[in-house]
Structure 1
Amino acid sequence: MPARPRRALAGGGTGGQPARRRGAGDARPLVAAAPVCRGSRRRGGGQVSQRVGAVDCGTNSIRLLVADVGSDGRLTDVVRRMEVVRLGQGIDRTGVIAPEAMERTLAAAREYAALCREHGVETARFVATSASRDARNADDFVAGVREAFGELDVAPEVVPGDVEARLSFAGATGDLPAAGVEGPYLVVDLGGGSTELVRGTERVEAARSVDVGCVRITERHLEHDPPTQEEIVAARADVARALEQAEEVVHLGGLSAVVGLAGSVTTVTAHALGLDRYDRDAIHLAQVPLEAHRGACRSLLAMSREQRAALPYMHPGRVDVIGAGALVWYEVLGRVAVRSPGVRVVTSEHDILDGIALSVAG
């Protein structure tokens, strides 16, 4: 993958700022990026670079990026990994991380720690998002990650939604000007438990995180396979209420482009493009008409799980939740289309994970 320019994080978003779990009265300190070994290295052409590790642990999946950050602030990928661990399994109902979900996630964390050691990572950052923000047993998760990384001395940062939004914006927008996509942007990071809406051009101007995501909406509303009309109506109303709250902070008028991130959006894009496999290069920076996106959303929502599983680009871990993810994306695009007629829709494979890597080097 070619190197891409770094975009500085606006308003911080690195370790050392207070984070707060939703529903908790006490601030949770963010843990500064932990050094694994010190010094820089020279890559091809003699350019000095720093090798960093970034982990994004969300409600549905956990991902690793090992990358070299050059002295010019460009990222070059070394390793990218993703596992569907469903950390947020049942959390909307119980308020705690289920033991089996905790173990799946910590097993992946142990594997990622081994990869960081193998590839000589110099500095690493582990960001935990929606599920661990919401869980009453988040402290157990933090302790488990510390143990998984052992002597690497990496601890997860349980970040609030505004920090998550800044990281997503930084990761998503670096490629856009070179691709001829100008702001103002609305970056939409559609996760398993929450969705971040971030407006900005050079930097974040407004951001809001709302508690609607593909796992959360599935567990709240979409019990049948395929979902019933009554379930869809209830889910759409839930998402609409959340988006109304977001619009109190994030203005949706006058946008040039809406930039969709994460697995639900990339899968909808693959469906709209009719791909015969999941192809990151075809999906990244794809500009599909807004109504084609919404048509793909309707199609995926109406399918049975068996039909979704047969799609050649469908990850097995998304089969049961892509309907809800498509529903959230459908509602976001419908609202944006009214507020910003003619807006472009761009899908990015670069997201919060890239933003985390850039924040480590910064």
Structure 2
Amino acid sequence: MTVIAVVDLGSNSVRMTVSRYHRDGSYEVLARFQEMARLSEGMGSNKVLQPEAIARTMVVLNKFKQALSIYQVNNLEVYAVATAAVRQASNQEEFLAAFKETMGFDLRVLTGEEEAHFDYVGVINTLPINDALILDTGGASSEIILVRNQQAVHAVSLPVGAVNISEAYLGKNNILASELFEAIVALRQLFGDIAWLHESKNMPVIALGGSNRTLAKISRKKEKIQDMAVHGYHLNIREVASIYGDILKKDLDGRKKMPGLAKERGDIIVGGLLPLVELLLFTEGQQVIFSQSGLREGVLFEQISSNTGHDVVSPEPAAMTMDAEDLP
């Protein structure tokens, strides 16, 4: 029995999943931790990680490090990966040095293609899909993967996400129609440059990422579903449009008060959901299926397979999710 922790240092959130796996490839999730550190905030056109954002991130990482200490008695393996913010950063080396000083081990910076690959592995092992379009909307990038016959046939990483769309185009309080239109045009141009995206017409979209999962949480609150688990939850295009319309009608204070929407996500939720909404319209998609599994699970599954020689043999059970401020 070995305990494995996967740290996902995203552009908006820092997350960690701790799991226990066995020689036959079976596993169970022990705990999940997450906190929004918004590492990509204020990077600007020069792509510089800001001191305040780095400091916030290091505070969260220190808490994660403390949380890992209780697992040191076991065979503990830790894998840490970073996505768009660190990938794009002009001061990447400085950040990597700060990470190693804080955590005591190296951080692996994923390419956009690697990020898309791990998203695919996480989804295909936990949802019964055959043909679909996977969308992972992060803070500073969005990964799109075309799946046919359960195989990833095309993938792309776009440099747009919840934080940088919001900073580049949208106001924080009321969203103006002119601002939203500019953001829509920019996304449509990016989608139009992906030749193979036209092959995904009418396919269901598998939605990953905090902003997309927030859409599912808002829906579940609206339907008075007590359990907030979103893995495998479905919405049709009309339901997506209705909820997004409700969000657009509200100012920042109103968005922060919406059931299912975390207050700290209120200023970026419009930009965060825009890639999903526009992708559905662009591909004439009619259905969204939400996935809790993605990058971290993809890393986990590949490590289990590599270390045991077995494919993952058990579905992922529910596990607790903690905010970093609740850590010991």
TM-score, structure 2 normalization: 0.86
Query: Could you say which residue in structure 2 is the equivalent of 1:313?
Result: 260
**Match of 1:65, as an amino acid?**
T
Query: Could you say which residue in structure 2 is the equivalent of 1:126?
Result: 80
Asked if the contact 1:161/1:209 (under 8 Å) is kept, the reply is yes
Give the C-alpha shift of residue 270 in structure 1: 2.0
Distance change (3 Å), C-alpha of 1:156 and 1:290: same
Distance change (3 Å), C-alpha of 1:272 and 1:78: same
The CA deviation string for residues 240-291 of structure 1, in whole angstroms up to 9 with x for no partner, is 112123x22445436653100111111112223315688442x221111122
Asked if the contact 2:172/2:267 (under 8 Å) is kept, the reply is no
**Match of 1:344, as an amino acid?**
Q
Give the C-alpha shift of residue 140 in structure 1: 1.3
Query: Could you say which residue in structure 1 is the equivalent of 2:49?
Result: 97
1:73 matched to 2:25? The reply is yes
1:240-279 equivalences under 5 Å are 240-245=188-193, 247-253=194-200, 256-273=203-220, 274=222, 279=227
**Match of 2:60, as an amino acid?**
A
1:163 matched to 2:87? The reply is no
2-side partners of 1:251 and 1:51: how far apart? 42
1-side partners of 2:52 and 2:224: how far apart? 34
Percent of aligned positions with the same letter in both sequences? 25
Asked if the contact 1:301/1:326 (under 8 Å) is kept, the reply is no
Of 59, 77, 83, the match for 2:35: 83
2-side partners of 1:141 and 1:329: how far apart? 30
2-side partners of 1:313 and 1:299: how far apart? 13
Give the C-alpha shift of residue 207 in structure 1: 0.3
1:57 matched to 2:4? The reply is no
Give the C-alpha shift of residue 92 in structure 1: 3.1
Asked if the contact 1:183/1:257 (under 8 Å) is kept, the reply is no
Matched position secondary structure for 1:93: coil
1:236 matched to 2:184? The reply is yes
Query: Could you say which residue in structure 1 is the equivalent of 2:146?
Result: 199
Query: Could you say which residue in structure 1 is the equivalent of 2:301?
Result: 358
2-side partners of 1:130 and 1:267: how far apart? 20
Asked if the contact 2:197/2:283 (under 8 Å) is kept, the reply is no
Question: Structure 1, unaligned stretches of length 5 or more?
Answer: 1-40, 42-49
2-side partners of 1:236 and 1:243: how far apart? 10
Larger RCO (CA under 8 A, 6+ residues apart): 2
Provide the aligned C-alpha RMSD in A.
Answer: 1.9
Matched position secondary structure for 2:57: helix
1:323 matched to 2:275? The reply is no
The CA deviation string for residues 275-317 of structure 1, in whole angstroms up to 9 with x for no partner, is 5688442x22111112211221222133211111112322122
Distance change (3 Å), C-alpha of 1:310 and 1:156: same
**Match of 2:164, as an amino acid?**
R
Matched position secondary structure for 1:88: coil
Distance change (3 Å), C-alpha of 1:265 and 1:305: same
Query: Could you say which residue in structure 2 is the equivalent of 1:147?
Result: 101
1-side partners of 2:277 and 2:182: how far apart? 14
Matched position secondary structure for 1:298: helix
1:186 matched to 2:123? The reply is no
2-side partners of 1:72 and 1:280: how far apart? 31
Asked if the contact 2:122/2:293 (under 8 Å) is kept, the reply is yes
2-side partners of 1:68 and 1:199: how far apart? 31
Matched position secondary structure for 1:91: coil
Question: Structure 2, unaligned stretches of length 5 or more?
Answer: 307-328
Distance change (3 Å), C-alpha of 1:330 and 1:135: same
Asked if the contact 2:83/2:115 (under 8 Å) is kept, the reply is yes
Distance change (3 Å), C-alpha of 1:275 and 1:356: farther
1-side partners of 2:115 and 2:292: how far apart? 16
Distance change (3 Å), C-alpha of 1:250 and 1:155: farther
Asked if the contact 2:217/2:228 (under 8 Å) is kept, the reply is no
2-side partners of 1:242 and 1:123: how far apart? 38
Give the C-alpha shift of residue 224 in structure 1: 5.0
Distance change (3 Å), C-alpha of 1:256 and 1:227: closer
Give the C-alpha shift of residue 193 in structure 1: 0.6
